[in-house]
Structure 1
């Protein structure tokens, strides 16, 4: 059975919890075993509770920070934190305060460096699909172009966690469906605001992208991120439904609203060379979801580690690291935002231990987010107007990231 089939057919596993002993700060989830409810916690806002606790991993004691979000409370909701453009980064605390979130955690893995392509600018754009306030921002890069640890078997860069307009959180897949139509025919769209395009494809860049150079989109291959940049590229700018300019190589700078820049590589570049100034062109794109017919309010990439109460097969249980994750319980109405301490006094957890920990905490489904120096969990103190970083980021300060999951409340 594939991961996608499991996602649709697996029933929610009923978990039995044991009452934890001792004060919250001293509570330990021993060995990430499937038992232990945590008492107390600090109420951040209606429907939002913050907790912290020790976790006994195989390689020592980790310290976890948790936000429990109750979506049955009509005053709380979730949305994407991001800096206003896909190819941009900012610390989670700054993103949360700028958007008015009461709490949040970092999001997807991203294009953080370009050491293999000298002279090419790292975009800072995330790996997977992204949806903010119901608006599609981007699609997923090819699997071989992702940054981060190896994907578990059966998962892909198209995996997301999100919340629908029905206010239920869920795991899903989001694939790009798009076309470029002219008077002479239709071409398939291979990418949307992505830092890496499939070989032989054409990608679209919109005003959501930002000012960063689009050259990186033509570097690497579908299976090798470090492969050289393509020597066969072409770019076409569409405004008002017509071609207004062309170029032999991808450019950068502001893309105005109502403008779409098409970037082609190899066979895609050859097709774009046929376009001429003034030619009518219609570009269409959308993200097609696998698991639900409900529209998404927000979605962010990463990869599943727990589905229907069961850890995915093949999860790594050797490499301990500082990590962030998000869990779903209560048939989509209970969301757990989780991050580990990166301070020198604590150890990390393996991906397998993360899956077990999220199940222990009450999740039926769980999703790994970016980790290491990106792992950041923020929350307001009761009555405060700005968030505070609750965990200890690995580098001692917050790392700028492309997105996160924000918790928002209304009066």
Structure 2
């Protein structure tokens, strides 16, 4: 299918002119007035059964906030949601490319990710996400330490383990996914502290599978649990385990695609000391899972941090930095999912939002829970046009073109 960086204008059959909503509050299932929400919304267009798209505007003293919203009815049997990623946990790709490859009906960018290594000259930059990731029920990666994340400072109480999930029961939730894993050998049993992560905890051991990709693993031993800018350690060890037995023992992080059936164990500090005690041919058992606080296994999990709980903004959200934002919201006890991205078009008196303003906006749109996803130049919103089936980028990414990202939330329809 032809890929296009295009834009649907608010004309003709695509979208009806801006309409001031009338009636009761959105959270109760009705329609809201501009006085209630301060938001003007265009008439929604059905992208697919159970999936609608509309645009909105909100006027602030400093300018106009222009946004794009996908409303997903998770109870519709034709609808499904999954995490899109570029085939490797260390890779990046534009949202439209991820969506077109999977033939989705709509998508927004997902988690914050490692985008720069200026503080570690010579270390390869990976596109790996900060938080846990699950796609089609498959656990892709765990969360980096809080102090290592590339995204903005977390609000009080939030961690890199915070995720938005959609379960096999077709319900969306905010949850936390913690890595639970063990490395067992004749030398002892040690906790596994990482899974396909661009940063490992101090003294930790991480596991890397074919899902990681071909990128270098050197970044994983840089920084500390509290300081991303700290240097890279030299006390490291790397062990390749093939079909349950040690095949290779080395001293430094490697690179290159990991073969199916193999797992690379990378250790730093005390973790390296333990791995150096292993010997070629020795049997090693590696187990891991991402354990949540909510019941059931997630079909999808994407990292970010909570900004709305119980229809109220959480405390301690940033009120200073204004930028383009992306967010996912939940309503109707997990039965409705909102995917929202702001427009980053330059000029036209447009403005972005602070994180606190984003939380207020998601409540006004009807969300009872919401998560902040990666923003700025990463904010991208795509959907298929219901009239010609072309995939289009609906917003203007603030960099003037799409930024390759670590992952995205994709919406599918069997019809």
Q: Tell me, yes or no, whether TM beats 0.5.
A: yes
**Paired residue for 1:147?**
150
**Secondary structure, in 3 states, of the residue corresponding to 1:167?**
coil
Residue pairs, 1:56-205, within 5 angstroms: 56-57=59-60, 59-205=62-208
Residue aligning to 1:6: none
Alignment match of 2:403 (pick from 394, 399, 402): 399
In the other structure, the counterpart of 1:339 is 341
Give the TM-score taking structure 1 as reference length: 0.92
Contact 2:42 2:55 in 1 (8 A): no
| Alpha-carbon shift at residue 185 of structure 1 (Å) | 2.0
Q: Secondary structure at the match of 1:322?
A: coil
Q: Distance in 2 between matches of 1:55 and 1:17?
A: 20
CA contact (8 A) 1:37 1:361 kept: no
1:149 Cα deviation after fit: 1.2
Q: Judge which range, 255-264 or 377-386, deviates more.
A: 377-386
* 1:325-368, Cα deviation, whole Å (9 max, x unpaired): 00000110111000011111311001011101101011000000
- 2:210 is equivalent to residue 210 of structure 1: no
Q: Could you say if the C-alpha distance between residues 107 and 58 of structure 1 is closer, same or farther in structure 2, counting changes exceeding 3 Å?
A: farther
Q: Say yes or no: does 1:54 pair with 2:57.
A: yes
Q: What is the CA-CA distance between 1:72 and the residue it aligns to?
A: 1.6
Instruction: Give the whole-Å Cα distance in 2 for the aligned partners of 1:235 and 1:387.
Output: 43
Query: Which among 247, 252, 259 is matched to residue 249 of structure 1?
Result: 252
Tell me if 1:348 matches 2:352: yes
1:235 to partner: Cα distance? 0.2
Where does residue 226 of structure 1 map in the other structure? Answer: 229
Q: Structure 1 47/14 Cα, relative in aligned 2: closer, same or farther at 3 Å? A: closer
Q: 1:251-290, aligned counterparts within 5 Å?
A: 251-290=254-293
Question: 2 CA distance for matches of 1:370 and 1:390?
Answer: 17
Structure 2: runs of 5+ lacking an equivalent: 1-24
Whole-Å separation in 2 of the counterparts to 1:170 and 1:35: 27
Aligned to 2:315: 313
Q: Counterpart in 2 of 1:5?
A: none
Measured in 2, the distance between the counterparts of 1:65 and 1:357 equals: 12
Distance verdict in 2 for CA 1:261–1:58, change over 3 Å: farther
> Normalising by the residue count of structure 2, what TM-score does the alignment of the two structures yield?
0.91
Please tell me whether the aligned partners of residues 41 and 51 of structure 1 are also in contact (alpha carbons under 8 angstroms): yes
Offset at residue 183 of structure 1 (A): 2.1
Q: Return the alpha-carbon distance in structure 2 between the equivalents of residues 49 and 353 of structure 1.
A: 24
Displacement of 1:168 after TM fit? 0.1
* Structure 1 residue aligned with 2:384: 380
Conserved? CA contact 1:18–1:35, under 8 Å: no
Q: Distance in 2 between matches of 1:380 and 1:107?
A: 18
- 2 CA distance for matches of 1:233 and 1:173? 29
Do the aligned residues in 2 keep the contact of 1:106 with 1:377 (CA within 8 Å)?
Answer: yes
Task: Measure the CA separation in 1 of the matches of 2:65 and 2:387.
Answer: 29
Specify the alignment match of 2:18 in structure 1: none
Shift of 1:294: 1.1
Matched residues, number = 389
Name the Cα RMSD after superposition.
1.7
Residue 20 of structure 1 deviates from its aligned partner by 5.1
CA drift at 1:118:
0.3
Offset, 1:184: 3.3
Distance 1:81 1:130 in 2: 10
* Structure 1 gap segments, 5+ residues each: 1-12, 22-28
SS of the counterpart of 1:208? helix
What CA distance in whole angstroms lies between the structure 1 residues aligned with 2:116 and 2:362? 30
